Amino acid sequence: MIFREVEDRDLIARARRGNVDAYNLLVSRWEKKIFNYLLRLTGNREDALDLSQDVFLKAYQNLARLDDVDRFSSWLFRIAHNEAYSLLRKNRPEGELVGDVVTAESSGRLFPIELTLAVDSALKRLSDDQREAVLLKVYQGFKFDEMAEILSCPVSTVKSRLYTALDLLKQTLAPVSASARGPKNVLNENLRGVE
């Protein structure tokens, strides 16, 4: 991780001097994370791809304004957050469910499809704010203070959104997870034992 951060810093320095190849390399490192974050936030692949382009273009144009290169990731996600919310506000009222479905077919064929679909569906039932808190913490691994910086809100708000989301997800996912076929179907074995 440290090695990677050092390399990012070097690429940022070169990109600031106008080296487009260095910036393209930086993009190739982060595009998948940004694209998936935007995909799960907007629920639409085309929107996510367009927004990803916009995010990296804005980042390039404003690279000189990045004060602390070690905080490049949270700075980049902050741009992505702003871009996504501009679109969400334009396209649909606050809190409305996301329309498109991120199908299980394209995400995780190795795992039980029922569970993947349930996760997808459960995430869509959250509000935009709650879903974004889950995306930043569970999928991107940001700390609470970094999330607060990205979302421009206090840490207490970040925690509140995340904890509410986890409670809602737990209600939906725990029963499904328990009934999904795991590597060992212990439940069925145990149930047979007590019948």
Partner 1 sequence: MNCSSLDLKAYIVGEASAAERQQVESHAAACAGCREELASLALTRDSLLMMRDEEVPRRIAFVSDQVFAPRWWQRVWRSGPQLGFASAAMLSAALLVHAFVRPMPASAPSLSAPQISQAQIEKEVDARVDLAVAKAVAASQAQQLSKTAELLQTAEQRYDSERRTEMAAVAGNLDILYKQVARSYAANNQLTGGQ
Give contact residues for partner 1 (rule: CB under 8 A). 17-18, 20, 23-24, 27-28, 31-33, 35-36, 39-40, 45, 49, 52-53, 56-57, 60-61, 102, 106-108, 110-111, 115-116, 118-120, 123, 134, 137-139, 141, 143-144, 159, 162-163, 166, 169-170, 173-174, 176-178, 182-184, 186-187, 189-191, 193-194
Q: How far is the CB of 13 from partner 1 (least distance, A)?
A: 10
> 130 Cβ partners below 8 Å, 6+ apart?
161, 162, 164, 165, 168
Q: How far is the CB of 67 from partner 1 (least distance, A)?
A: 18
Nearer to partner 1, 87 or 115 (CB): 115
- Quickly count helices (H) and strands (E) in the chain: 9, 0
Q: How far is the CB of 19 from partner 1 (least distance, A)?
A: 9
What distance in Å separates the CA atoms of residue 163 and residue 143, rounded to the nearest whole number?
14
Q: How far is the CB of 78 from partner 1 (least distance, A)?
A: 18
Dihedral (CA of 127, 141, 67, 75) sign: negative
Nearer to partner 1, 29 or 71 (CB): 29
What distance in Å separates the CA atoms of residue 67 and residue 92, rounded to the nearest whole number?
34
Nearer to partner 1, 87 or 169 (CB): 169
Q: How far is the CB of 166 from partner 1 (least distance, A)?
A: 6
What distance in Å separates the CA atoms of residue 51 and residue 80, rounded to the nearest whole number?
8
What distance in Å separates the CA atoms of residue 129 and residue 158, rounded to the nearest whole number?
9
Quote the radius of gyration of the chain (alpha carbons, Å).
19
